[in-house]
Amino acid sequence: MLKEFKQFAMRGNMIDLAIGVVLGAAFGAIIASLVKDIITPPLGKLIGGVDFTDLFIVLGGDSYPSLKAAKDAGAATINYGLFLNTVINFLLVAFALFFVVKAMNTLYRTPPAAPTEKDCQYCATRIPVRATRCPHCTSAVA
Protein backbone atom coordinates (compact mmCIF):
# COMPACT_ATOMS: atom_id res chain seq x y z
CA MET A 1 0.00 0.00 0.00
CA LEU A 2 2.88 2.39 0.77
CA LYS A 3 4.38 1.61 -2.64
CA GLU A 4 1.05 2.46 -4.33
CA PHE A 5 0.83 5.74 -2.45
CA LYS A 6 4.40 6.64 -3.44
CA GLN A 7 3.56 5.84 -7.07
CA PHE A 8 0.43 8.02 -6.84
CA ALA A 9 2.21 10.96 -5.18
CA MET A 10 5.16 10.97 -7.56
CA ARG A 11 3.17 11.00 -10.79
CA GLY A 12 3.83 13.99 -13.04
CA ASN A 13 0.34 15.45 -12.65
CA MET A 14 0.60 15.53 -8.87
CA ILE A 15 3.98 17.29 -8.94
CA ASP A 16 2.69 19.79 -11.52
CA LEU A 17 -0.33 20.49 -9.32
CA ALA A 18 1.87 21.05 -6.25
CA ILE A 19 4.11 23.44 -8.18
CA GLY A 20 1.03 25.27 -9.50
CA VAL A 21 -0.41 25.69 -6.00
CA VAL A 22 2.89 27.03 -4.59
CA LEU A 23 3.37 29.43 -7.51
CA GLY A 24 -0.29 30.48 -7.27
CA ALA A 25 0.14 31.35 -3.59
CA ALA A 26 3.29 33.35 -4.34
CA PHE A 27 1.58 35.12 -7.24
CA GLY A 28 -1.41 35.84 -4.97
CA ALA A 29 0.94 37.49 -2.46
CA ILE A 30 2.41 39.64 -5.23
CA ILE A 31 -1.04 40.75 -6.41
CA ALA A 32 -2.17 41.42 -2.82
CA SER A 33 0.92 43.58 -2.25
CA LEU A 34 0.35 45.39 -5.55
CA VAL A 35 -3.19 46.27 -4.48
CA LYS A 36 -2.37 47.06 -0.83
CA ASP A 37 0.91 48.93 -1.32
CA ILE A 38 0.67 50.46 -4.80
CA ILE A 39 -2.97 50.89 -5.88
CA THR A 40 -4.89 51.48 -2.64
CA PRO A 41 -2.86 54.42 -1.16
CA PRO A 42 -3.29 56.76 -4.17
CA LEU A 43 -6.91 55.67 -4.52
CA GLY A 44 -7.54 56.41 -0.83
CA LYS A 45 -5.90 59.83 -1.21
CA LEU A 46 -7.97 60.49 -4.32
CA ILE A 47 -11.32 59.78 -2.62
CA GLY A 48 -10.39 61.67 0.56
CA GLY A 49 -9.32 58.85 2.88
CA VAL A 50 -12.80 57.29 3.20
CA ASP A 51 -12.71 54.26 5.51
CA PHE A 52 -15.71 51.99 5.82
CA THR A 53 -14.48 49.87 8.75
CA ASP A 54 -16.54 51.76 11.35
CA LEU A 55 -19.82 51.38 9.48
CA PHE A 56 -21.94 48.89 11.41
CA ILE A 57 -25.40 48.27 12.81
CA VAL A 58 -25.81 47.18 16.42
CA LEU A 59 -28.48 44.54 16.90
CA GLY A 60 -30.32 45.39 20.08
CA GLY A 61 -30.58 49.17 19.97
CA ASP A 62 -27.45 50.17 21.90
CA SER A 63 -25.07 52.80 20.50
CA TYR A 64 -21.29 52.55 20.31
CA PRO A 65 -18.76 55.08 18.94
CA SER A 66 -16.75 52.46 17.04
CA LEU A 67 -16.87 48.85 15.93
CA LYS A 68 -14.04 48.01 18.34
CA ALA A 69 -16.06 49.42 21.26
CA ALA A 70 -19.10 47.40 20.21
CA LYS A 71 -17.03 44.20 19.92
CA ASP A 72 -15.37 44.84 23.30
CA ALA A 73 -18.82 45.21 24.87
CA GLY A 74 -19.88 41.92 23.28
CA ALA A 75 -22.64 43.49 21.18
CA ALA A 76 -23.98 41.65 18.14
CA THR A 77 -23.27 43.75 15.05
CA ILE A 78 -23.76 43.67 11.30
CA ASN A 79 -20.45 44.88 9.92
CA TYR A 80 -21.47 46.16 6.50
CA GLY A 81 -18.46 48.50 6.38
CA LEU A 82 -16.01 45.59 6.61
CA PHE A 83 -18.03 43.84 3.90
CA LEU A 84 -17.76 46.93 1.66
CA ASN A 85 -13.99 47.04 2.25
CA THR A 86 -13.73 43.37 1.29
CA VAL A 87 -15.76 43.91 -1.89
CA ILE A 88 -13.67 46.94 -2.87
CA ASN A 89 -10.46 44.99 -2.16
CA PHE A 90 -11.72 42.11 -4.31
CA LEU A 91 -12.52 44.46 -7.18
CA LEU A 92 -9.08 46.06 -6.94
CA VAL A 93 -7.38 42.64 -6.90
CA ALA A 94 -9.45 41.48 -9.87
CA PHE A 95 -8.64 44.68 -11.76
CA ALA A 96 -4.90 44.38 -11.03
CA LEU A 97 -4.91 40.70 -11.95
CA PHE A 98 -6.67 41.51 -15.22
CA PHE A 99 -3.88 43.89 -16.20
CA VAL A 100 -1.14 41.46 -15.14
CA VAL A 101 -2.68 38.64 -17.20
CA LYS A 102 -3.22 41.00 -20.12
CA ALA A 103 0.44 42.03 -20.01
CA MET A 104 1.57 38.40 -19.81
CA ASN A 105 -0.62 37.49 -22.79
CA THR A 106 0.98 40.20 -24.93
CA LEU A 107 4.44 38.85 -24.03
CA TYR A 108 3.54 35.31 -25.08
CA ARG A 109 1.49 36.11 -28.15
CA THR A 110 2.39 33.76 -31.01
CA PRO A 111 3.04 35.24 -34.44
CA PRO A 112 0.37 34.57 -37.06
CA ALA A 113 0.93 31.48 -39.19
CA ALA A 114 2.27 31.95 -42.69
CA PRO A 115 -0.49 31.82 -45.32
CA THR A 116 -0.91 28.53 -47.13
CA GLU A 117 -3.12 29.87 -49.91
CA LYS A 118 -3.20 32.86 -52.25
CA ASP A 119 -5.61 34.24 -54.85
CA CYS A 120 -5.09 33.50 -58.52
CA GLN A 121 -4.51 36.88 -60.18
CA TYR A 122 -6.64 35.87 -63.20
CA CYS A 123 -9.70 34.02 -61.84
CA ALA A 124 -9.55 35.03 -58.11
CA THR A 125 -9.76 31.43 -56.95
CA ARG A 126 -7.84 30.33 -53.80
CA ILE A 127 -4.81 28.22 -54.73
CA PRO A 128 -1.83 26.88 -52.74
CA VAL A 129 1.02 29.35 -52.24
CA ARG A 130 3.52 27.02 -53.93
CA ALA A 131 1.37 26.57 -57.07
CA THR A 132 2.89 27.80 -60.34
CA ARG A 133 -0.27 27.18 -62.40
CA CYS A 134 -3.91 27.72 -61.40
CA PRO A 135 -5.87 24.43 -61.45
CA HIS A 136 -9.09 26.31 -62.34
CA CYS A 137 -8.10 28.61 -65.20
CA THR A 138 -4.71 26.98 -66.03
CA SER A 139 -2.97 30.36 -66.06
CA ALA A 140 0.65 30.59 -64.98
CA VAL A 141 0.84 32.41 -61.63
CA ALA A 142 3.81 34.09 -60.01
Nearest CA to 52 among 37, 40, 38? 40
Q: Within a 13 Å sphere around the CA of 6, how many CA atoms are in the beta-carbon half? A: 3
- Which residues lie across from 127 on neighbouring strands? 118
Query: CA separation (Å) from 3 to 6, 8, 9, 11?
Result: 5, 9, 10, 12
pLDDT greater than 90 at residue 118? yes
Residue 43 pLDDT: 76
User: What is the pLDDT averaged over residues 27-47?
Assistant: 81
**Domain 2-109: which CATH class?**
mainly alpha
pLDDT 10s digits, 78-95 = 998 888 888 888 888 888
| pLDDT bucket at 97, cuts 50 / 70 / 90 | confident
Domain ranges of the chain: 2-109, 111-142
Fill in the DSSP letter of residue 56: -
The amino acid sitting at 48 is G
Instruction: Tell me the C-alpha distance between 24 and 84, whole Å.
Output: 26
